[in-house]
Structure 1
Amino acid sequence: MSQINKYRIYHRKQDVGKKIEQLHRSEQLAIGIIDVGTLEQLESSLSWYIENMNFCLHAVVSGERGDIAFLKEKYPDVTFIVFPSMPSFGESVNTIADECFTTFFMIVRSNVEIIRFEGAYLFDVLNGKEAPVGLVPVIANSNKEIIPSMRSPRLTGTLIDPDSYFPYMASTEVYQTLYPFRAMGLFDRALFQRLRGYDIEIKSEYYQCLDFGIRCNEYGYTIGSTSAFIVSFPDRLSIIEDRSPTEGLSKVHTRALGVETINGKNFAHKFRGYFDRKTFNDEVKNKSVMLVKKDFNTIIKNWKYTPDEETLRSDN
């Protein structure tokens, strides 16, 4: 998706030897830190990643902060992407994907902490056969309690209303989830961009994530979650999504529900509910009908839950 805001980028300082070395190899991971809190939280986050994770760092910040020169001087190993005003979360993520030039990129918030990151295992998963587009972290609150961050597809009347359940903690096995909860995760950059990233015309972080996740699944890819990757919100007991109706709601539903598969063949399908005629004519009829591998009803029917959730649902 194209970017709406123009931004300035201040590249990290590197010695000559490091620059020459990077000309001959591709870096594996970039970490993108989205500034969503206080200056103290941003500084604490940057300091922690510099000290504990040996990967290139990108921080998306707003020029309205007024302390960019201070940050550049204090953190010369960080690339700062500075917008005039803070963009949507989806635009921040898309920009990091455009600028990082690494095989994988990880998105975190400045107000979260990494609890567990089994890098070798996570990279093996993303390099494996039928690898997911991305791996979403397990989320803990300020009491270190795991929250139900997994999502499965569900229709409630005419509204796409994903169900929530707990991640599987007994092993690090990867289980599918519908979309990146709170937009955080570890992503394959090439696949992310092939799928066009987040739609920044949708005016909601939740619906940007939902749209991206459904697109991944309908185009034949998956998004996974594993306890090998855990983050916490140290200052939040309740971590919720804002699912309020917003601009772009009908666009999300039209993309998701506008293709119906009958006897193995895709058809453009007009449906009742949140319907956007322009999206249907421009995208669904001309593009999606040829690209969709599984329609939304097939995704619901074939969804694979974690063992614990399967047991709960069979008991009910």
Structure 2
Amino acid sequence: MKSDYCIIHGSQNIGSVINRLHKEELLCVIIQDKGSIQDLLQTIQWYKANMNFSIHVALNNDKEKLEVLTRKHPDITYLVFNRPVSMGARINAMATECYSTYFLVVRSDCQLIRFDGGALIDLLRDNSQACCITPVVKNQLDEVVPTLRIPVFNQKNEIKTECECPDGSFESHVVYDTLYPFWGLGLYKRAVFQRLRGMDEQIASSYWQALDFGARSWLFGFPIVATNSLQIKFRSKLNAIEDISYSEGTDRCFAKVLGMKQVDGRNYLERWPYRNKLRLLREEVKPKLPLYKTDYHHLCESFKRP
């Protein structure tokens, strides 16, 4: 990935630079460019005005846009990708470059409408194995989008999920289990994210990247949760639809998630559905067999529904 992007570091005073060399930052905000230049400028300005954390922006190489951004906001860091890359590739690169304990992944076409920082950090600290907190997502009409994902096991050896709506109120603090971070959005624990080797960039689809990451996280004992203490609203979207069609690399997800079976506490390769995927089983599953805490079938049985 290093050869696919360049970094434009924000201008900082010498005190800030020295402080960051000696002390890891608590949190970094990662903004994915997903709209117009006006959307991105508005989003950057909001985070600068409302959150005292460093900001990183991930965007494609657009000279005119970069010129405007670096002129108006020279104090933030830009990761500029030389070619279009997947959502997972962007998040992996940003996680490598941010040097913070936690990182928050958002989009330029969204507005952060609730961020109970203390409660969120406490949730990640209290649950030492937690990997990620995903937000409640609302559309432009303030309607809650069904972003909770519950894993379902079927006899066809496929990975299926059911959708549920979380509580979108502002008064309560409700925590749910969810299989993966919807559209990659959420507050991540950087050390756990990197321990899991991030998202699989050999999978082309953003949906399957997120599902693969979330399922691996759960199977290796690192839960993912959603809470209404973190809420995001799309400025101009009525629907948030995932493309679940199979694409290049989807078989990697199937092999890693369904290629292990646990019997009496012992882990075995599940060969039957993947006789044509033996290379993937040998390379991706077998070396990691001791790391699996459960298999997909048991995960589906024990998963907490809202």
TM-score bracket for this pair, using the shorter chain length = over 0.9
Would you say the 8 A contact 2:259–2:274 is kept in 1?
A: no
Q: How does 1:1-316 map to 2 (within 5 A)?
A: 3=1, 5-64=3-62, 66-156=64-154, 157-169=156-168, 171-272=172-273, 276-285=277-286, 287-306=287-306
Q: Kindly state the Cα deviation for residue 269 of structure 1 after the two structures are TM-superposed.
A: 0.8
The gaps in structure 2 that reach 5 residues or longer are none
CA distance in 2, matches of 1:200, 1:4: 13
Which stretches of structure 1, 4 residues or more, deviate above 4 A after TM superposition? none
Q: Give identity over the alignment, percent.
A: 35
Matched residue SS, 1:33:
strand
1:176 positional shift: 1.1
CA RMSD of aligned residues (A): 1.6
Assess, with a 3 A threshold, how the Cα gap between structure 1 residues 271 and 101 changes in structure 2: closer, same or farther: same
**CA distance in structure 2 between the partners assigned to 1:275 and 1:118 by the alignment:** 48
Aligned residues: 303
CA offsets 1:79-132 (integer angstroms, 9 cap, x no match): 001111231110110011000000000101111110100011101111114341
Task: String of CA shifts for 1:216-255, please: whole Å, max 9, x gaps.
Answer: 0000110010000000111010111010111111111111
State the secondary structure of the residue aligned to 2:272: coil
CA distance in 1, matches of 2:19, 2:206: 38
**Structure 1: gaps spanning 5 or more residues:** 307-316
Give how far 1:212 is off. 0.2
TM-score relative to the length of structure 2: 0.95
Residue pair 1:202, 1:249 contacting (<8 A) in 2 also: yes
Question: Cα–Cα, structure 1 residues 24 and 272, in superposed 2: closer, same or farther, change >3 Å?
Answer: closer
- CA deviation after TM superposition for structure 1 residue 169, in Å: 4.4
Please tell me whether the aligned partners of residues 250 and 274 of structure 1 are also in contact (alpha carbons under 8 angstroms). no
- Counterparts of 1:185 and 1:100, CA distance in 2: 15
Alignment partner of 1:108: what SS?
A: strand
Q: Residues 158 and 274 of structure 1 are in contact (CA less than 8 Å); yes or no, is this contact kept in structure 2?
A: no
